[in-house]
Amino acid sequence: MKKVIVITGIGGMGLAIARRIGTGHKLVLADFNGEKLEAAAESLNDAGYEVQTAELDITNKKSVEQLAQTAAELGAIHSVIHTAGISPTMSDPAHILNVNLIGTARIIETFYKHISAGSVGIIIASMAGHMSTQYDSALDRQQWSAQADHLKLFIDSLEINERADAYSVSKKGNILQVQASAASWGEKGARILSISPGIISTPMGQQEKKEQPVLNYMLQNGPVKRMGTPEDIAGTVEFLLSPQAGFITGTDLLIDGGAASFLKKIFI
């Protein structure tokens, strides 16, 4: 029986992951942008992949539930790769937190109901989550106990007014969400992990590079001295889904070319 693989967010990373791991399986692609979603599906179908699409508003609980139900009706869900999210220059702080943090909580909660032994969840976080030190103790406690609706009330109470702060807090939260979910997923014989990419050469990554001069400095002077590629992340996802990674769960893998360590060195 073909595996069902769900990928949210069909930007550069999502599409690269679909091409890397989707051969011979049922791909369910979900994105807020219906036009982009259909273009991706057409490209993959023409290349021989089996694709079904679902428009997704990750801020809407019913939309997330409908996505999970659509995937479950196709067969056993083998993996959920959650790449959907927005960067600091794309919206206001409240919306960044609602999409990146609350939306991710809804994905984890909702798909938990449909996973089984051997399922794997992979959440795309960010190196920004490794740079955040704001609200650490409060955020940590809340991630371990709150459902998405309660988490939203908590985040609103923090009154985060800067876009960069909202982004880093949301991505730190994603890392903590994975840690908090590992035990319950393990009870079903499933694993859940996060990946924290650095600056990746996607349209979103190029936009951030253009808007934030510090990123150009980092790329010129950091350990690897290049942007990451979507294929760098797709290769990591492929490994984490494999039996060779069967002992890895509840943790984050930083794939940033050494950028976080470099930035800590120059700013701390």
Q: Which residues are catalytic?
A: 167, 171
Task: Count CB neighbours of 56 within 10 A.
Answer: 25
For residues 216-246, b (16+ Cβ closer than 10 Å) or e, as one string?
eebbeebeeeebbbbbbbbbbbeebbeeebe
The enclosing H or E element of 121 equals strand 120-124
Q: What is the DSSP letter of 127?
A: T
Contact present, 110 and 65 (Cβ < 8 Å):
yes
Greatest CA span in the chain, whole angstroms?
A: 52
What is the spatial distance between Cα 126 and Cα 181, in angstroms, rounded to a whole number?
A: 18
